Amino acid sequence: MGDLVIGKIINTTIVSWKVDINSAYTATLHATTVLDRSFNPTKDDIRRHFDIGEILAAEITAFNRTRDPVLSLRGRGLGKLRGGRIINIISAKVPRLIGRKGSMINLIKTETNCRLMIGQNGRVWVSGKTLESELLIDKLIRKIERESHTSGLTDRIKDLIHEELKKS
């Protein structure tokens, strides 16, 4: 199974989408991997499914140095991401944001009642019920990114969440 990435549609061809995955390479998402039925490029307009500027969660299924990454949306939770916001972090900090056995990300999801999806490419999609909750998560992620090398971070994040939620 390949890496989960959060991407942005930047171009279309008649048979595929070009996706910015926050990398030196532009990824390709082929229409045949998205559409379940038989795809006819002369009749079907792929922009009806994804248009330029839309955000998606995808899995890298193929990549080597001689060709750009190929994406797939076949998998649980993959596809178009509606609403919310994207937060970019240093990709090396992704494991700390996730935490051991998902502890950090689960803490944030549970305490803030927001939806999050973390791409291995350093993009985080956040969808909260309010703008304030999304801004709180941005603040938490920035703190984790800055202090990822320190001990006791999970407790400090939990304290910060409770402190911020008391204010609102």
Are 89 and 145 in contact by the 8 Å Cβ rule? The answer is yes
Q: How far is CA 27 from CA 32, 72, 136, 145, 165, in A?
A: 15, 10, 31, 26, 39
**In angstroms, rounded to a whole number, what is the distance separating the alpha carbons of residues 160 and 8?**
31
CATH numbers and ranges of domains, the chain: 4-80 (2.40.50.140), 85-167 (3.30.1370.10)
Tell me the pTM.
0.89
Tokens found for residue 134: 């999304």
Does residue 86 carry a pLDDT above 90? yes
**In angstroms, rounded to a whole number, what is the distance separating the alpha carbons of residues 30 and 33?**
6
Does residue 17 carry a pLDDT above 80? yes
Does residue 36 carry a pLDDT above 70? no
- At 46, the pLDDT band (50, 70, 90 cuts) reads confident
The sign one gets for the Cα dihedral 39, 42, 46, 48 is: negative
Q: What is the CA radius of gyration of the chain?
A: 18
Are 138 and 151 in contact by the 8 Å Cβ rule? The answer is no
CA neighbor of 87 nearest in space, from 28, 147, 130, 127: 127
Residue 40, pLDDT score: 77
Does residue 159 carry a pLDDT above 90? yes
